[in-house]
Structure formats: structure tokens, C-alpha cells
Structure 1
């Protein structure tokens, strides 16, 4: 099938590119009389503030019609956009890791060019969409789908036109403001394996009122998908991992090559293993210190020797044995339920003045099962002599100098924490627009966005309760109670009066059914409110006429204010001093220094505001028209001055030109300075806690390490220099054919970045303890495993990426029907990053990165669609190609990697039948995604069982899936 997919793609490419090799096009959306779409003379092209008849912007714009997007992917518009090659490593419910609940990155977050979602500006009908998450990103599930006419993707810098964040470009969801009639959809879906079941229902209408002076738009829709577990697919059940292949590796030249024996080092190349377990803990508890060290408890509660299994070249990683494996019964695709409502009313007060008000509400609910509660060092539990749950043989083994044991237990078969995320989002726009003297267009607008994002993770260890309940003793009456409840301090005794003792050694159903279990688990909650108020005013029109046409200008001013309030019941800052920890855990013993309120999910609070004042201008100058070798020659310039209350002032600009030497060829180019200002969370975030698995080169230990991140109020805006140039070909000898090709290059300096936990530790180790990163690593002794690592954002990074975009379309009549072909393709020439001035420059182009959050950047990506309609029948085929990638860990140890994963193709097919009804139609349709049921390639990470063993950022993990339903329009 791979050969057929590639052949189909190459055939389409050859058809479109002919002698030029292919293209990327600023297309004009097809007219649709029934939808009330504006004529070509009224089209506002995203990427410029100036609109005039026939104007073609120098910055490339890809226009994707909603009709074609939903045919390829009927679930929703964001899912369809992520199949376009311009988007890379976007996150969505099927493209994210659901292991943790301490980050707001699980919605549909678009990532243009793969340079990060914070560098992609999202617009709704030309208005900036306020952030929906406290991270500053926009979950585009909040955009109402049914009344979206098209999506414009500006694939070049546009900060001069739209302000901050438009570094990689702009995604503008364009509203069909003139729609009149009634439209709707009802559909159901499922995968071939019976999971990922879902539905979508929606209805929208457009109505004139007030003698055609007013127009009203209304829509309501809902979408649901039940998701799937990792265990529902073979690649999620095998506990695959890359491990070192040299068992007992010895390094004869450690001074010259200290990492030679590390996994992936020169003497210990990586290999793939299945059934990998981690020896740090076991299912029912491994004793790691005290009597019976390296014994474990079995399913019957008996003490038996712990067997590591078959050793690998990765410390702590074994095949088989009694170690623990991360449970596969966690989410590979998170269940998602969205609700959307939208309304818009406009009124023509005079022939020259129109007012409007519009508002939308959306609710997005995500729910998922995440990693099981664990007691893995350094957060193992200490059980003391006298604990009535200890077996007699263990109690008898205590000595005057050994009065406790440390127990490491990973409860893969115990109840797992369940997380619910909800985003409630309001967006209100109001304004006036009109014309002056039939030459000038003006508008004033107010925009308000308000997001309430809440997370609740239930069933997670409450450490204060946990360490109180596991320290059980008998009282004077022989009853088993919590030791802290017997404290001589009345305050402590009262605090734990309701404590229920917890038998950590229980097995089977008895483990979770004991009263103590309900006492030791709780709910970690956090809530963020992000709101934005924005006001803008602009005017554009012709200053004067030149022989080649009018000189157009656009001028405007904007004011924007944002606010973030993040609250949490598990703020790490509440326990960041010795005094605070002593008060919180008073009366308890055996509490590790690394724990906070809850296991894993401890989100710090944040509070901050910023305001932005901006003025901008844009000028379009036609130099030549209808001259030999100059059918058109024009220049475009834009500038913006921005003043941030947090980081000062900054200027952005753009220069562009278009030249049409002959009627069939247009050449275009632009250079620009673009910015991304630090957002509120980057500036004002409180400490956030998490854990990550670390292979420590100092102690030689592989274990989870506590990680703390926070904000940096001294951050400055990132600066990007963007270059684009290309050509658009519309051959007159073949009407209906459009070809284009555009080169782009983006260089970002002073980029906001954070060194990874591994980079921090390795940089410190390789410097011999002298690097600045060493201040971020806390060790109890110089050679012990870290007890904490701190990371924070800074303006330290550099990023450069370049490539070529291709776009081609062709429409014609064929055998009594209408044939439409569309090709999107992209070639990635380079993607280089440098995390700091002392770090190496890393190349990611053509690489599938091996990590717990995999990313992939194939050099070639493309989508070819074929749409044929004859009579009432329609056939739509969509062929997606993901080019070959090489497996690697840029900047890390990667000996044994370097394998090439060949190109992968996915075919989607839609069959439809359109039945005329009254003044409209009803369309019955059926879609099959991943028609050939292609399995994703096996690409494990370096931690077994954390994710389904493939690069979910690149490849489909669901398999063949079906959607059927009806659409109507009257």
C-alpha cells in the first residue's frame, strides 16, 4: 500500500508541477452563490490591512475552503487543518500525551511551521482570539465551525499587520457574514475496532430583517468523541523501549568520553526491547532499604526475593522480572466533548454606516485516565517497626539500628487518577464600519475574550494524608489507628482525628476498598481565568492616483489589555521553605523532601496583567501596469510601533513587492521583522512541580526526579526576521489551473526557551561542576541523585527554519461532471535550534525525535485531493504523504539510532449523494479515514510504556475509521 500511496502522490505532483516542480499558492476561494459568499471584489485577503480589487498580497496565503476540509476530515475543522503540511507537531486529543494533568496542552492547538503554537496567531474573522489556556495558547475547538466560510493560512511573518505572535504566520477562521438560509449536519463515527465512537450535530441559520437593513446569524453545534486507551492497540501493550545494548559496559577512557557507557553512548548503542520493566519498584511493593532489602511482596502478600529479570545496557531497565511496567490502560486519544453557540446581528444605519454585535460561547470538556499513583524513589514510603500491617517475619527482623523499611510500589492494577479539563470561553465583538466619500473605508471595534479553564484530577495521592495513614500503630485499646492522631500536640491530634489507617501491603480488591484508601487520595484542582479586552480603529483608502493605479494606505491604532488569574489547591510555593514544610507535615515522619501537596499534580498560582498600545500603517504603491514585461509592479510596506507595559517598546515592519511580467506569471517577495512578546504565564507563573525520569551521569542512577518550573518577569520579546519569495503561475492556455511555489526563511533570536532537565544535568556534568546550570541542580551530596532540578524560561534560544511551500489547483469539466484537484506540499530544508549561546546548534529537519513527547519534522509532506461530482453523486479522495524520517535525539546520545522510517501515506475517501429538496439540498455522505488501515511504524521512546510506541505527532494511531451522516442547506 505504501508504494501505491507514494505513486498516487507523485502522479499528482507531476500533473501539477510540470516543468516547475510544484508550488504554494495564494488561492481565491471559489464562489458559492448559495452560501452568500462575497464577490471577489469584496474579499479581504488575510495578511494585509489594505483591500482593493484584484490585489494580491506579497505574503503567501493558503486558502482552504470549509467544504473541502470537512470532506477530508468530518470530525471538525481543526483536525482537518492538521493534515495540511504547513502544520507540524500540533497538539490535539489524539496527538498529546495524557500522562499528566499539570499542563494545559491537551486541546486542539495549532502549530504553524512547527516553531511552537505561541508563535502562531489565531484570528476569528480578522479579530485576535484571546488565549484560552493559561499557557497563552488558543484551543481552536472554541471556534464555531458551521458558519466558517474558509480558513486563510498566512505562511509568512505578519506582525506588522496583526501584532505580536504572528511569527510563523496567521490562521484566520473567516466567517460567512452574508449567509442566508439554513444549514446543518448530523453524523456518527467509529473506528473499525469499535472505539473512538462519536457524533456531531449542528444547525445554523442566516436571516434578513428590518426590510433587509439587518442580518442575523445563529448557530449551535456539539461534537463528542469517546477516545481510546493505549491498551486498545498492539503498540500500546508491548512495553517497548529503546535501551542500551551493552550489559555491564566498561569505559576504558572515561576522561575523554565520559558518556561512552551511557545508553546511546559510543560503547552502549541503543536497541529496541519489548516487555521492559523498571527495577526501582514492583507491583505490590519492593523493599529498598532495611530488613529484607531487595525482597518484594507478591499478590498474596508473601515476601519473596526480587528478580530483576534480564539486564539491558540501561541502568534500572530489564526485560521481564519483577519490576514495574507503566500500565497501558491510559488514554491514547482523550475523550472530548465540545459545545458551541454563536450569534451575530448587523444593521445598516445608513447606506454608509453599518453596526454589528456578535458573541459566541463554547465549552470544551476533556477527560482522561493518567498514570497510576506510584511510590517510586525518591517518593517511596517508609514503614516503621510496630506497624500492625507488617508481616511477623519482617517485624521480627528489625534490630535496634534498623527500625524501618522503605517500600517502592507501583500500583499498575490499582485505580488510576482520572482528570477532567473544562474550558468555558466567551467572545464578544461589537463595532461600526462604513465608507467616506466612496473612497475610504473605516471601522472601530471592541473585542472581549474570557476563558475559564479548570482542571480536577481525582484519586491522586494526598501526601499529607498518605504519610499520616501509612504510619499506623495500635492504640491503648488495641485498635489500629494513625500514629499522628495520638500526638501529644492537641493541634496535630485534632488535624488527624479523622485519619483512616492505610494498609499499603494489601493486595487485590482489598487494596482500594479499605477505608484508608479513600482517605489517602484526593483531588488536585486548579483554575485559570484569562480575559482580554481590545479596542481598535482603522481607516484605509486611496491617497491619490498614479498612472498604474491608486496609492492605498491603511492607518490604525489598537489597545489591548490582558489579565491572568491562576489559583490552585496545590501551590508548591506554599511549601517552598523549611518552615512551611515543617508546619504542613508536622507530626508526620518519613516524608521525603521532594513531595508537595499531591502526587505529580501541583500547579503553582499565577497573577499578572499587561497592556499593549499600538499604532500601525501600511502603504501599497502601484508602480507599473499594462506595460511590456510589467503587467503589474507594486510595492507594499507596513510598520507597527508597540508598547508593552511589561517589556517596553518594539517596532515591527514589512516590505513586499509583486511583479507580473506577463499575464500568466506573478512574482512576489517580502521581508519582515516580527515579534512574539512573552505572555502572562511566562512572566508571572508561580512554581509548578512535576517529575521526569532522569538517567543521571553523576550517580549512575535512573529514577524519577522532582522538577520545578516558574516564570521570569525579566523576559523580553522574541525577534524574528522573515524572508519569503516565490511565483504564481496561472497559464492562460489551461484555464482552471493555478500553480505557485514560495520559499520561506524564519530566523528567531532572543527566543524564549528553557533547557530540558537532561540538558541541565548533562551541561553541569560535562563542565565539571562549573557551568551556570549547576545552580539549578540540588543534590544532598556531590555524588548523590538530584533531589530537585529547577528550570525557568529565558531569552537564550535561537531558531532558524526554511523551506518551500507548494500549492496547485485545477478545476475542469470531465465526462459530464466537475473535477477539482488540489495539492498542498511542503519541503523542509532546515530546522535548527540552539538552546543557549553555549549549547550546540542542532538540526531537526528530517528527524523523528525519540522522547516522551515525540516530535517529527519530515523534509517532505503533502496532501493531494481529488473531488469529482457528477449529477447527484460525489467522490472525494484525499491522499496524505508523510515523508521519510531518521530516528534521532539531536543534542543527545544517539548511537544505535539513525534508522530511516520510510514515507507513509494515508488515504481518506468520501462518497456523497445530494438530493434536491425545496430550494436547497440534503446530502448523505460516508467517509473512511485511513482507508488501508495502515499501522503506525514502531518507534518507542526511552521510557517504557509512557506513550503508544510510535510518533503520535506524525502518524495515525486509530486505524481505519468510519463517519456517516447527512448535511443540509436550504
Structure 2
């Protein structure tokens, strides 16, 4: 069979809707050194020249992807409709450092990166994030020849985790010569500058040994804060979806009686930069700390402290009634107000730097036996600001003997019998909180292969890897230190009743040595805290390190069993043994500072909690205003460890039934089965059945049905009791305040199951030269999906049940459920992973392409698109269903139209990426007859407009021939389009109203570069 025929077979398989540019497996820069090497397409373990798999598969050349997005191959893939929702290399979407947020994590059909299996030459790579996904930045891009993408389930062929599909990076293992690439990029606003360099070389030493190596470097400065793009807000109030009715008939907003609507100039209503005075407490109430908001209004409730008078005594610090703006239908969010605050300073895109080195050796031992060994090292560094101003909502108590307190306020407290008041503050004067992530990954692959009886091919392979993720979050408050520093007293007043002006931390007098070096913190007035006090409170970053290892051994054999009239019956058999290990360490010790229950177990929370005194370093921290505090203000990642081994057996069979008959030019059946045995999770079967039918040469029909699986990751099972602190809108008490949430893994998790059905057709009419068309229907249903029930939904379900439902155990309250006063605000919330979510997607992928010879040049037109019929997901069977029109971040229609013209050394192309309109609300959502909050929108918050992005690329070979030097230019989002997508949660201006997983957030971006081949 000739190489042309082989490539034609690959094209037939590859015309599913993921192809972009040319779908041929041949790289544009240069042909493979061995022109007789066959092209093996992902989707099947059976190796047959020209084999046409029934599963929709796309072969995408690296050269074509980099034309559209020269930053990286992953960026090119993200431009395809099926990869919407994938993280970019620098996207920041979190406000803490609990997980790696920046990296190229591919996400097929927005079902989650963890559902997409990423391979390198068919071999597994180590996970690089704590959720088990692999950052594709660790793959050596300079030698990637093509990418094979399976858009249906492929667990039977490739094992667990291939529920939504497989992305297989194929290296050019026969490359000879030297090639280099260098480029510069910048946005039209003069920021987010990038530099990229890559080198690769390959050579034969004699006739048997082939060596090749590559290095890649990429750096992008990022966009420092979200105010640098439209609607970002940043230092002023921003756009947020809030409830329209302050009466809050259904809680925080998002129900028919109180729908979400986008509002500008939204600000935090329950805290000020100078400290907002809340409810007052008696001495007994101050000691109990039953709830963050328990207490009574008094004369100065709602007042805020003014900035310290420069050069004046502390006693001159004044207070005034705070202007907190106009209330909205969402607690804690108001419009305007002179004294309201925002969480400014958040980075829009992280700075990113990646480095990669790769080397490989192939050796021909003779007798048809060859072997190889390769290894790579990659390192990725990201940094970003989580927030410039930390928040403390109803977070601590201020006592009358606080040495920094103005005399006027102290006198008012004594007159009202107030021993302490609850305080709230936005730290507009603290150093910015910044996260630094460093990821290092080592991979090794080796194998040997040969033939048996001239009909079978066998291989023995090893793949292994180790990744290490280090995270540091600077600017976090150490909660014990902060509570101690915030309770400052006059030493003389405390000891003798006579002030001496020496202000110290009270804990140094009541519990000497418990917190050495304590530096008093003055929170009264914006700018009042000293730099030394912030250094003490936030000088130690919260840090954690995650190390993951994988070792995989595989044996495979494939070939023809016997011949039938229609062709050879082919079979593939194989076995794998894999070990995985995870170890996570951190500097937080316990995940919380326990101020109420010394024996509290966060993995087994009690039904109720009562005060029982203080313990450990918490003794004497009377400023505490909650039962539990996380160790740090944010980013509390607990130690974790786990390991398991996996055994797998698989078999695949392809049977040609009919050939060269009327209406049956080709009829072939394919089946595969895989048995997996996880030492922790148990056993399961994955399978696939399918077939192809060509009634005529020009038309091929294909259909598959598969059961796919994803085993829970080690982190999902063995995650320690991590904690976060954030604002919680409690619909039970109608109160909004801060609360600690404890989360943990679940060793009892089961495997996810995915049922996938695909049916499609490929048409290449001979009477239209250069024309091809494909259409594929898909139906994916994932059940037992692993998820965490968030505290908002848990609270809602508990309310719906009248306090008797199982989710009530996730909301820890100090008083019985029947009490709806603010004193019954939760002490803590709790979440745990479980198998209860599900997702369903149905849609159509399509592609139409036409190649035309125009004079001395060639024009290629291509339309690739996806149309969705249904997209349903829910965190559990009782949760509000999210559909296409309910903010699932999956547009009903997406398409990319491209045109490329080449004539001699000159090439020019243009592409348009279309994303259809979205509507968050489709129909009312009810559970047990009650409307569900969080699913209803009005106005621009409901309607997300359609958008089209224009891109262009130009290249010219200043030196032609077999060793060209090419100058190139690329422009993306040339019309500088942005899509308004206001959030309905998060703190105002913390995140801009843009959806970075679906829409570009850089704006217009330009790249120039040069490629050299020697």
C-alpha cells in the first residue's frame, strides 16, 4: 500500500468535526524522514494500513494549529468547538491558591479536564494538578508532528479517564536536521507581551541509531489586574448579577420572585476600609461566640472609623455613620455608597513561564526488532494576585480596653454596657495577596517492538513520570496571629490599672510565649495598621507541595488472525500494570484553629456545637468571633497521601463482513472490551461496539456504542481536610457573613460511568474534486459523576426538607433548626466528594472542506462546527438542572470558518470563530414544589449575545526550498471583541464580567516570528 493511500485512509477517519486546516497527518514543515512509515490513527489498538475506525477521530497537523494560535498547540486546539471551556495557559479563575489554576488543561465538550485522557505517543503522562489532570505544557512541542483527537468515549481502547475522549500527541520520531522558531507577541493595549523560542534537532548515526532532542521556552507577562479590560471595575464598584428585590423573598436572588440582574457599581455592604462597627455584646455573649453575627444593635452600630489624623494622637481618631449605598436583593452587595468597599487588585491573567527539554534515541536491533528510550523535563512558573484587599466580614471582636480604640468609642461602649462589638473590614492597606506556582515534571518512556510470524506485531513498553507542584500564597493572614494582634491593650492598664502607653498583644500577658513576636495591629481607619503588624500577621505564606508518580508497564500484540472473503480479521490484545502514588504536604498543620471543641473531627462533624472553652494557642484569643477559623485566611491545603495499583486487560476485534459488492463496498464490525482492577476502587468493564458501512466508494457510514469509565483520582479519595473561608448567604437566618468550610476526599468513591453513542457519515464525492464533508451525532450520558455539593445547595435542600434532610449535616449550627434568628448563623459548613452528579450532552459535529487550485496557487476552505441539542448537568438528582439556556457555558452553536491560500513562498489565511447566543434561564426550576435560587436571570444577565472573532495569518519564505526561512504574522480577535458575562457570586470587582473558559479575554493580539529549517 502506498503512502498516498495510507494518508487518504487517515483523512477519511480524520474528517470528524475537530479537524482544522489540513487533516493530513503529514507535518507542513517537512515530511517524515521515513516516507514509508505508516500512519496509525488513534481510536483503535489494531494496526492496519488505511483502517477506518468507527469512532469519530480527527488527525490535526501541528503546523495548521499553530497558524491559528502560535502561542501553543493547546491554544490552537481551544479554537475548535469541542474544546470550549478548556483552561488557557494563563487564565486565573480562583481567588485562593488551593489548586493550580494556570495551565493548558484540555477539556473536551466542557465536561471537565479530568474526563479527557491526554497521551503522548499513546502512553499516559503524570498528573500535574491536584485534581488529576495533566497540563499539556509538559509535552515537548517542537517535535510534535500531529494530534489525534477521539471525540467519543475510548476507555475500551485506552483505559480509564477517556470518558469524553482522548487527545494523543504524536511525536515526529524520525526527524532529521535542525529547526528553530522564535516569536514575539503583544496585545493592542501594550500588555501581555510574550516571547517564544524552540529548537529541535535529529540525526542518524549509522543506519541503526537515530537521535533527536528539543528545547522549548515560552514566557507571557500576563495582565496585572482585571481593570485593564472592559467592565473590569477593579478599584471602583464593578458589574455583578444581584437580586433585584431587597426584601429577598427567596434568599440571595436568582428565583422567579427575585431574579438576578446585572448592576454596575456594586460594592461590599457589610465592611469598610476603615472597619465597620457591628452588633454589640455583653461580656457573657463575647465569651460564647455562638455565631458570627450574634448580638444587639447599639448606638454606634453602622458607624465606620475615619483615617488616622496624621501626627495626631490616637484619641483624635473619629467615627461617622457609614454611607453603605443602596441595598440590592443580594445580601452583602449594595450599589454605590461613600464608605462601601471592593476587593480590588485581582490579576486578570497570570504571568506564565514554561521550559521544556526532551531527548530520544531509537535503535534497530535487526531482525525486525527496534527499541527506543526517551525522557523529558519541564518546568512551569505562574504568578498572580488573588486579591489586593482581603476581607474580614463579622470576623473578630473589639473590646472596650483595646488600646487603639478612640476614647469616644470606648465611652459609648461603657455607657451602653457593651463589652465588645463585632467588626468587619476590607484590608485596603495590606500588601497584595499573591500566589506563586512552580510545576516540574519528569517523564520517561521506553519500549521494544517487533514482529511475529510476519503477521503479528508485538510491543513491550514502559512509561513513567513524576510531577511536583509547589504553591506559595503570600499575604494570607495567619488567623491565630491576627486574632492575637487585633486584641491590643495598654500593658500598664492591664497590670495595674494605670496606662503607661506601652501597647502590647493581650495574649503576651495572658499566655506568655504562646505566640512570640506578636505585633499589635491597629484596624481603626484606612491606613492605620503598621507595616510591622502586617509583616507579623501575613509574613509567613501558606505553602503546599504535591508530588505525584505513575509507573505503567504494557504489553500489546496485534495482527491478522485469518482471512475472510471481505478481508483479514484483525485482533489486538494487551495487558497493563500501573502504580500511582500521591503525597501532599503543607505548612498549615491542622486545617483550622479550633476555638470551641478540642476534640472536633472535621471529617465527622457533630449535629450541633456548644461552647466549651479555649485550647492550645487559641487560649486567650478573646477577639475570636467564630467557633472555627481556618489556619490561614485563605489557601488551607491539608496533608494528603495515597497510592494504588491498577491491572488492566483488553481485547479488540475488527471483522470485515462484506466488500466490493453492490451497496456493500465495505462493511466492517469492530468491538473492544477492557477489564480493569483498581486496588482501591474495585473492578469494572469498559466496552465498545461499532461498525462502518460504505454503500458506495464515496460514502462511509459509522456508528459506535460504548461504556466508558473514570476511576476517582487519588486526590479525590485521599484529600485531607482542607478548608476555605468565605462569605456565606444563609437563607435560613437571612444573614450574610464569613464562615469556614471544611472539605475532604472520600475513599468510598466509585467509578464514574459514561455511555456514549455516535453515528455519522463521511462523504467525498469524486465528481467534486477536493471536496469532503462529515457529520457525526453524539449522545454522552455520564452517571455517578464525582462532585462536591456546595454549601449553598446543601443549605437550600436542607430548607426544602424542613431541617430533616441529609444535607442538614453539612451546615453546622449552634442552635436547633427551628431557630431562625441571626444567632443561629452556621458555625461552619462541610463538604465531601461523592458520586451523585450526572451530565448529558447531545449534539452534532460537522465539517465541510473544499480544496481548489487557483492558477499557480491553492485555496483551502473549511467550516468546522458543532450544534447542541441538549446539555444537562446537575450536582445531584435533586439539584436544579443546568441546560444550554441555564449558564452551562456550552453554546448551542459554535463554528470556525477558515480560508487559506498558498502560492509559492507566500501564504495568507483568515478565520472566523463563531459562538452563538446563550440564555441562562430557560424554564423555572423547582424542587419539591419550591423555586430554586440561583437559576433565574433578567435583562443582559440572561441574554449572552452571539459573537464572531476574526483572525488572520501571513507567512513568506524569504529562503525557499527544502531548508526554508519563513517570516510569519498572526493576529487574533482583530476586531477586539469582548462578551459581557457578569457573575452572580464572588466579591465585586474580584472577577471581571467575562467568561475566560469560553471567550477570549486578551482582546486584539498580534504575533510576529521566524521559522528556520537547516
| Alignment equivalent of 2:572, drawn from 528, 539, 554 | 554
In 2, the alpha carbon distance for the partners of 1:397 and 1:747 equals: 63
Residue 844, structure 1, aligned to residue 883, structure 2 = yes
| Alignment equivalent of 1:83, drawn from 79, 83, 87 | 79
> Do the aligned partners of residues 753 and 493 (structure 1) sit closer, same or farther apart at CA in structure 2, a change above 3 Å counting?
same
In 2, the alpha carbon distance for the partners of 1:339 and 1:516 equals: 35
* Deviation by residue 1:757-798 (Cα, 9 ceiling, x = unmatched): 211110101111111101111112232222221111111122
In 1, the alpha carbon distance for the partners of 2:782 and 2:35 equals: 38
> Do the aligned partners of residues 523 and 893 (structure 1) sit closer, same or farther apart at CA in structure 2, a change above 3 Å counting?
closer
1:286 aligned residue: 276
1:723 aligned residue: 757
Residue 218, structure 1, aligned to residue 218, structure 2 = no
| Alignment equivalent of 1:906, drawn from 949, 961, 970 | 949
* 1:283-432 → structure 2 map (5 Å cutoff): 283-290=273-280, 292-300=300-308, 301-322=317-338, 324-372=340-388, 374-378=390-394, 380-399=395-414, 401-432=417-448
2:290 aligned residue: none
> Do the aligned partners of residues 350 and 621 (structure 1) sit closer, same or farther apart at CA in structure 2, a change above 3 Å counting?
same
1:568 deviates by: 1.1
In 1, the alpha carbon distance for the partners of 2:489 and 2:721 equals: 36
* Deviation by residue 1:610-664 (Cα, 9 ceiling, x = unmatched): 1100111111111111111111111111111111101111111111101111110
1:273 aligned residue: 263
| Alignment equivalent of 1:100, drawn from 93, 96, 99 | 96
Report if the CA contact (8 A) 2:592-2:631 is conserved.
no
> Scaled by the length of structure 2, what TM-score is found?
0.88
Please, which moves more after superposition, 946-955 or 119-128? 946-955
In 2, the alpha carbon distance for the partners of 1:244 and 1:418 equals: 31
Residue 443, structure 1, aligned to residue 474, structure 2 = no
Residue 929, structure 1, aligned to residue 948, structure 2 = no
* 1:776-925 → structure 2 map (5 Å cutoff): 776-781=810-815, 782=817, 783=820, 784-839=824-879, 842-847=881-886, 849=887, 855-888=888-921, 892-897=933-938, 899-916=942-959, 919-925=962-968
Where does the alignment leave 5 or more consecutive residues of structure 2 unmatched? 1-14, 281-298, 309-316, 493-499, 600-613, 926-931
In 2, the alpha carbon distance for the partners of 1:24 and 1:200 equals: 26
* Deviation by residue 1:811-836 (Cα, 9 ceiling, x = unmatched): 23213112222322111111112433
Instruction: Name the SS of the counterpart of 2:109 in structure 1.
Output: coil
In 2, the alpha carbon distance for the partners of 1:645 and 1:189 equals: 48
Please, which moves more after superposition, 651-660 or 106-115? 106-115
1:485 aligned residue: 508
* 1:109-128 → structure 2 map (5 Å cutoff): 109-128=105-124
Instruction: Name the SS of the counterpart of 1:280 in structure 2.
Output: coil
> Do the aligned partners of residues 516 and 344 (structure 1) sit closer, same or farther apart at CA in structure 2, a change above 3 Å counting?
closer
> Scaled by the length of structure 1, what TM-score is found?
0.92
1:511 aligned residue: 529
Instruction: Name the SS of the counterpart of 2:974 in structure 1.
Output: coil
Instruction: Name the SS of the counterpart of 1:595 in structure 2.
Output: strand
* Deviation by residue 1:179-199 (Cα, 9 ceiling, x = unmatched): 111111111111111111111
1:901 deviates by: 2.4
Residue 583, structure 1, aligned to residue 616, structure 2 = yes
Query: Matched residue pairs, number?
Result: 927
1:254 aligned residue: none
Please, which moves more after superposition, 563-572 or 582-591? 582-591
In 2, the alpha carbon distance for the partners of 1:323 and 1:345 equals: 66
1:566 deviates by: 0.7
In 1, the alpha carbon distance for the partners of 2:709 and 2:174 equals: 34
In 1, the alpha carbon distance for the partners of 2:768 and 2:35 equals: 23
In 1, the alpha carbon distance for the partners of 2:488 and 2:331 equals: 34
1:22 deviates by: 10
Report if the CA contact (8 A) 1:41-1:53 is conserved.
no
Please, which moves more after superposition, 285-294 or 167-176? 285-294
Instruction: Name the SS of the counterpart of 1:460 in structure 2.
Output: coil
1:714 aligned residue: 748
In 2, the alpha carbon distance for the partners of 1:370 and 1:520 equals: 14
Instruction: Name the SS of the counterpart of 2:964 in structure 1.
Output: strand
Instruction: Name the SS of the counterpart of 1:532 in structure 2.
Output: strand
In 1, the alpha carbon distance for the partners of 2:962 and 2:835 equals: 59
In 2, the alpha carbon distance for the partners of 1:786 and 1:284 equals: 26
* 1:711-790 → structure 2 map (5 Å cutoff): 711-781=745-815, 782=817, 783=820, 784-790=824-830
> Do the aligned partners of residues 39 and 805 (structure 1) sit closer, same or farther apart at CA in structure 2, a change above 3 Å counting?
farther
> Do the aligned partners of residues 32 and 67 (structure 1) sit closer, same or farther apart at CA in structure 2, a change above 3 Å counting?
closer
1:965 deviates by: 1.2
* Deviation by residue 1:425-465 (Cα, 9 ceiling, x = unmatched): 00001110112232211110111110001100112101121
Report if the CA contact (8 A) 1:466-1:521 is conserved.
no
> Do the aligned partners of residues 655 and 25 (structure 1) sit closer, same or farther apart at CA in structure 2, a change above 3 Å counting?
farther
Residue 523, structure 1, aligned to residue 541, structure 2 = yes
2:608 aligned residue: none
1:302 deviates by: 2.6
* Deviation by residue 1:101-126 (Cα, 9 ceiling, x = unmatched): 11234322111111111111010111
Instruction: Name the SS of the counterpart of 2:997 in structure 1.
Output: coil
* Deviation by residue 1:835-870 (Cα, 9 ceiling, x = unmatched): 334445x242244x2xxxxx5111111112211111
* 1:584-733 → structure 2 map (5 Å cutoff): 584-591=617-624, 592-733=626-767
Please, which moves more after superposition, 444-453 or 789-798? 789-798
> Do the aligned partners of residues 737 and 169 (structure 1) sit closer, same or farther apart at CA in structure 2, a change above 3 Å counting?
same
1:134 aligned residue: 130
Instruction: Name the SS of the counterpart of 2:747 in structure 1.
Output: coil
In 2, the alpha carbon distance for the partners of 1:628 and 1:792 equals: 59
1:574 deviates by: 6.5
2:8 aligned residue: none
Report if the CA contact (8 A) 2:353-2:382 is conserved.
yes
1:205 deviates by: 0.9
Report if the CA contact (8 A) 1:24-1:808 is conserved.
no
Report if the CA contact (8 A) 2:591-2:630 is conserved.
no
Report if the CA contact (8 A) 2:592-2:629 is conserved.
no
Instruction: Name the SS of the counterpart of 2:475 in structure 1.
Output: strand
2:241 aligned residue: 242
Residue 544, structure 1, aligned to residue 562, structure 2 = yes
1:165 deviates by: 0.5
Instruction: Name the SS of the counterpart of 2:410 in structure 1.
Output: helix
In 1, the alpha carbon distance for the partners of 2:28 and 2:69 equals: 21
In 2, the alpha carbon distance for the partners of 1:705 and 1:55 equals: 58
Instruction: Name the SS of the counterpart of 1:764 in structure 2.
Output: helix
Instruction: Name the SS of the counterpart of 1:496 in structure 2.
Output: coil
2:603 aligned residue: none
1:572 deviates by: 4.0
Report if the CA contact (8 A) 1:570-1:602 is conserved.
yes
Please, which moves more after superposition, 43-52 or 784-793? 784-793
Report if the CA contact (8 A) 1:678-1:717 is conserved.
yes
| Alignment equivalent of 2:162, drawn from 162, 166, 180 | 166
Report if the CA contact (8 A) 2:434-2:473 is conserved.
yes
Instruction: Name the SS of the counterpart of 2:457 in structure 1.
Output: strand
1:945 deviates by: 1.9
> Do the aligned partners of residues 500 and 875 (structure 1) sit closer, same or farther apart at CA in structure 2, a change above 3 Å counting?
same
